[in-house]
Amino acid sequence: MKKTISSALLLCIMASYSTSVMAADACEVVLCMYGKATGNGGGNECHSAERAFFNIVKKNKHGFLPDHTADARKSFLLECDSADPAIISQIISKFGRMRG
């Protein structure tokens, strides 16, 4: 019983720790990348969001796959339910196929 409670407590602590360390959420990335696309960068506040976006890269043994990368980045941005699909398309058309 004591071992089960200790394990559950440890699991909760690990879960809360990993969520605080996770990269920017999709809505933050949409907001920052839209600002970057329109020429209104977010400065230091958007650094981690931009890095999270550009860290999404798809490769194979031959190298960088721009279309697959754009699809993966678009899928990530679509996780933000409140984002306008037109804004996401604008972000992807400008930065989707760009190497990180």
Instruction: Give the integer Cα–Cα distance in Å for 67 and 62.
Output: 14
Residue 88 sits in which domain range?
A: 21-96
Mean pLDDT rounded to a whole number for the chain: 84
Inside any domain, residue 8: no
* Domain total of the chain: 1
* Both structure tokens of 71: 């699809």
pTM, entire model: 0.74
Inside any domain, residue 32: yes
Inside any domain, residue 13: no
User: How big, in percent rounded to 5, are the helix, strand and coil portions of the chain?
Assistant: 70, 5, 30
Inside any domain, residue 1: no
* Both structure tokens of 26: 């999709």
**Tens-place pLDDT, residues 37-74:** 999 877 889 999 999 999 999 999 999 999 999 999 99
* The pLDDT of residue 71: 98
Instruction: Give the integer Cα–Cα distance in Å for 89 and 34.
Output: 10
Inside any domain, residue 11: no
